[in-house]
Structure 1
């Protein structure tokens, strides 16, 4: 039964009352566990949890009177009974998986609720793509709520997307059963300067009584930040330091602290709670972006909670940040996020609150995972051909498409270079002096070429520039149709021939990620759905992703999760420097800048 059709509390209230009174038997009883109460921040030994119709009826020291001949009794054996974990902000597409396969991957890690923003597919397929993600999400045995994407394009005028999201689209989506709010409002300059469309999207969401997601990616906490908050966003996950977290909660926002595959922002911000003593109920843990390799090998929200604890957070506080805080923020405190009467019976059994081994996972009163294995079916949506044929390149690309000509007569140039920062979403705006050979500027030392290949309308457009920080060596190239947020094709390489090979390979397979070295394909991750996702099992995709990571290492890259850095090189709403189909973009000023500056 999907979560949209799941019986509401009022629908089953009479039955719950009768179960608690002992007039009818329970469906399920957890016996003799330690009840972790995230409302009061207590661990209470010797309690039973009574479940009926997929909801919690009561939690009492002895539920014997609720047990009938057909009641399933689970001996908790003194283990902790904690609420299913909630991810407050994430993008399913970043896992390279469809909602069904993402659910199958995270269920064994104790994630029973996700608040997802499918703005990746919105950039490729528009409102129809969002509907497909929404519909498959509703089919799953866990709770996947969808936020309607707000910004496609993320920075109007600075990039061209496959489709554009309008205020009318947002208003329409607010009536869908699985829509919980508005996705991250990335166009923070637009909100701060009262852009009519951005404010109309926010207004449509607020009138529907739903939550507006934030995304303030600037370090400036002055008037622009204040203006952004006044516009209506209710949370933000772009903070990278303690001051960011404090500024957000002081203004009535929720501070979402993320630990994804490449974003390590919890440690620097959680000190607002552990050292400054701020009220932890306004802090939420999330992942934002996790690729399949992280999900299969390291975990999901259980990984984030463990990390928060390792950073000095009290385990019960960390659990609040991944359960009740999240549910409350989205207006679902009476529906999920705690083990209390009426809530969905999303229960984890674990023997240790610090290490958090996920021994059993129950969702809506059903055993869905045990000791790392998913025990339930995760149904697939029937993705149409229009969602599988989205890489449109005008013609076969050649080395000449990646040529960067120097100014006439120059022997050397000063280039504006995108500087990758390990484990962080922001980049650095660097300038490097590069040598000219035969009128062209090519990769030199740690400075590689980067190209954005238009792939939505087959215009034949290729934007060329430079990037530094990957450490690539030899003749190689890496190409990906995952390129937040416009999702054109991004190619990074040290050799123009290899760049052409990689780009043409992705056009051939319909999207994904590939790495070439010396004419040989070292790795390929096929992502046929919108060029973003695979509907293959997570373990298979993760194995190919692991091969991709190893190929990057073979080519000289030692950055942690460098693929995530690669995928964000076109994200023109996060400072400092990015690439788009319009050119090289200085996100500090939100304007295009030249690849070359005059030599002084």
Structure 2
């Protein structure tokens, strides 16, 4: 290969007259890019067997999502690959703990095999916290350190996924310590919303390296000071970029220990706004230096995860890059993957096992199962717009006022859907504002039981029956009729339909939900999917009941 770098032999492909972002020197340089066998062999003046004149267009490294869950896109890896490549993302770091919560190693085997079937580079973090909470009912039970051992040597496995069981770390619970020890020489991702003080220090002492849960500049700065890499999240529901980037700029904090991630981003948002490209554009609009913004999407995440041949346009690096018309607006002209223009042609999907296609097993749900006791004051789950956090309120909700028109309250129901105990829990939700129907989903982090919200019992029950019939997905009921449905039969999490169909259905669902009163600032299905996650403050609803995260106890309703 040295003869190609030296220029004594023509490379297979040379891109001429490119304005290249040098992520090492923070400058744009006008040179050629020589490529052989999918690798950049030189930057300078080169001749190639094939030459393409870029006519002064800008070239940056392919974008890297430092932390995401494929399942949140609602499509399989093959369809997601096409959508992300079109947006300039060439590599993702995926944590498949949603799938693994449902079907354990069988689900992990599926996502690894399907990932190898894509043009997109998909790296995997082994789920650390399955289940994330002992008193929540998932399908797979525990994913143990012993079960992880066969996967450690897989070249696409980079480390341990987000450690959500924070108390198990700082109080040295044996099962968690075994996982940390197993992955001690790899990257360990964190998940520590609102953690501070000595507990944060103890969490970092366990060699947890990253965190993506900072919802404010102050929280991000505290974690940076503690030695964490701060992954700045801009998802569909959790939008933390503006607060953190503004704060870093105002206080002159360097960005070299940060990277962009999406965590959970729906397909319609990806196709409409962008993926990591959206985060870059938004950061630049906030005043961040253009070179720094691109480094947060390329070099920095590659360095964090030890991807030595990614994140730069230089000799020896993988030929993944994005050709831009305008770097400030992230206007994409072409995307190259392994030295070839990324094609978005259909790839036959890797077929999941039949067991992964039949995971919704609920008991018969009757009206008497979902009633709430009348009290002087009820505990309320208050949604926070633009955040995954919730507030615990105590308010008087006389009679069944939350079923009245224009009421601020909705009923929220969780039904255990893995065929284990048939649990049904009911609570009161404020801030969702749905009128005239119900919506439901089998996507409810992290145990993914069925979750339903509505303003009347009949529509809530119809939503449950519809989801059972289609073996999972999203459904919207209006005036006692099924208005919209996205079937997601792969573990009740992902559709078998193509990206364009899912995007259209998802857009229709959101528009209909907004017509029924859900605020535009709330992604109805992302908000719903996080109401059952007991590791984010302040209050959640699980199949066992309404749960006070701060005080670590169930609340009688």
TM-score (norm: length of structure 1): 0.90
Give 2:319's aligned residue. Answer: 345
1:460 to 2:422 alignment: yes
Of 207, 210, 218, the match for 2:186 = 210
Contact 2:413 2:424 (8 Å CA) reproduced: yes
SS of 1:575 mapped into structure 2: coil
| Whole-angstrom distance in 2 between the partners of 1:104 and 1:273 | 33
Q: Cα offset for 1:400? A: 2.4
Alignment-derived partner of residue 319 in structure 1: 294
Equivalent in the alignment of 2:511: 550
State the match for 2:34 in structure 1.
50
Deviation at 1:401, TM superposition (A): 2.3
Instruction: Name the residue aligned to 1:359.
Output: 333
**Shift in CA distance, 220/148, structure 1 to aligned 2, threshold 3 Å:** closer
Matched, 1:190 2:173: no
Q: Is the 8 A contact 2:414 2:425 kept in 1?
A: yes
Offset at residue 25 of structure 1 (A): 2.2
Residue number in structure 1 paired with 2:223: 248
2:453 equivalent to 1:488 = no
Q: Which residue of 1 aligns with 2:548?
A: 586
1:306 to 276, 281, 288: 281
* DSSP-derived class of the 1:27 partner: strand
| Structure 1 residue 161, shift from structure 2 partner | 4.3
Give distance in 2, aligned partners of 1:325 and 1:442.
Answer: 48
For the 8 Å contact 1:171–1:205, the answer to whether it is kept is no
Distance 1:527 1:158, change over 3 A: closer
d(CA) in 2 for partners of 1:400 and 1:138? 48
Query: Match of 1:548, SS?
Result: helix
Q: Is the 8 A contact 1:296 1:538 kept in 2?
A: no
State the match for 1:473 in structure 2: 435
User: How far does residue 413 in structure 1 lie from its aligned partner after superposition?
Assistant: 2.8
1:401 paired residue among 359, 363, 369: 369
Gaps of 5+ in 1: 1-14, 407-411, 596-600
**Cα deviation per residue 1:90-129 (whole Å; 9 max; x = unaligned)?**
0110010111111111111100000001111011111210
2:46 aligned residue (49, 59, 63): 63
Q: Distance in 1 between matches of 2:319 and 2:195?
A: 43
How far apart are the structure 1 equivalents of 2:172 and 2:37?
47
Alignment of 1:219-230 (within 5 A): 219-230=194-205
Identify unmatched segments of 5+ residues in structure 2: none
Counterparts of 1:404 and 1:321, CA distance in 2:
48
Distance 2:348 2:63 in 1: 21
Distance in 1 (CA, whole Å) between partners of 2:137 and 2:168 is 15
1:443 shift after superposition: 3.6
Shift of 1:442: 5.6
Query: CA offset at residue 404 of structure 1?
Result: 2.0
Q: What SS does the corresponding residue of 1:289 show, helix, strand or coil?
A: coil
Alignment of 1:549-568 (within 5 A): 549-560=510-521, 561-568=523-530
RMSD, aligned CA: 1.5
Alpha-carbon offset, residue 435 of structure 1? 1.4
Q: 1:413 touches 1:436 (CA, 8 Å); kept in 2?
A: no
1:380 is aligned to 349
Corresponding position of 2:473:
512
1:100-111 equivalences under 5 Å are: 100-111=78-89
Which residue pairs with 1:432 in the alignment?
A: 395
Which SS does the other structure have where 2:111 is aligned?
A: helix
